[in-house]
Amino acid sequence: MEYNHVRRLLKRLFSKRRLVPAMALTTSIIGREAALVRIKSSSHSSLEKLAQFSLSCNHVLAYMEINSGKEAMMVISAGNKRELVKFLELVRSLINSDVVEISAEYGILPSEFQVLLKNSCFKCNYSTICNNNVNPVLFKNNRNTHTPR
């Protein structure tokens, strides 16, 4: 393939938002502890709220609704089990009145597993609760910071 053809193809894919550049960090930075969480709810609207939260949280690796929207499964990661439990309490507080059951299976992610970062973490209302450990890594020794005059 020619260079110009590849360039046009990439440009078209970027403009249609079918190809999106993303940054990924290894689990040694994010945390290797993980949990597979199954949440049963009596209301579909509470799971929609949880889905929106999952789209913007760096700790949520995967989210899926099952059983006609009455249950959800999430894969979450954190630095240790204490942070995982704290994060599960946050999830429970999001859909507190509609929770029927929450079950979790704990495990460890592979050391070279890459976690995609989501851009919306800066807008997150819960970052102080979940102790987001990504922002200090991103801004450590950042020489390209711009201070407005």
Neighbours of 43 (CB within 10 A): 15
pLDDT for 122:
62
Q: Is residue 90 pLDDT above 80, yes or no?
A: yes
Tell me what percent of the residues of the chain surpass a pLDDT of 70: 79
As a whole number, the mean pLDDT across the chain is 82
Query: Which residues make beta-bridge pairs with 35?
Result: 76, 106
Pairwise CA distance, residues 20 & 132, whole Å = 23
Q: Is residue 9 pLDDT above 60, yes or no?
A: yes
pLDDT for 98:
82
Q: Is residue 136 pLDDT above 60, yes or no?
A: no
How far, in Å, are 32, 72, 108, 110, 126 from residue 23 at the CA level?
18, 26, 22, 18, 22
How far, in Å, are 29, 35, 75, 105 from residue 98 at the CA level?
34, 21, 20, 21
Domain 3-118: CATH class, spelled out: alpha beta
- Average pLDDT estimate for 105-134: 73
pLDDT per residue as tens digits for the range 29-60: 878 999 999 999 888 888 888 898 888 888 88
- Average pLDDT estimate for 18-25: 85
pTM, rounded to two decimals: 0.74
List the alpha helices (DSSP H) in the chain: 3-15, 27-30, 44-56, 81-94, 127-130, 135-139
Q: Is residue 149 pLDDT above 50, yes or no?
A: no
Please tell me the number of Cα atoms within 13 Å of 1 on its side-chain side.
Answer: 8
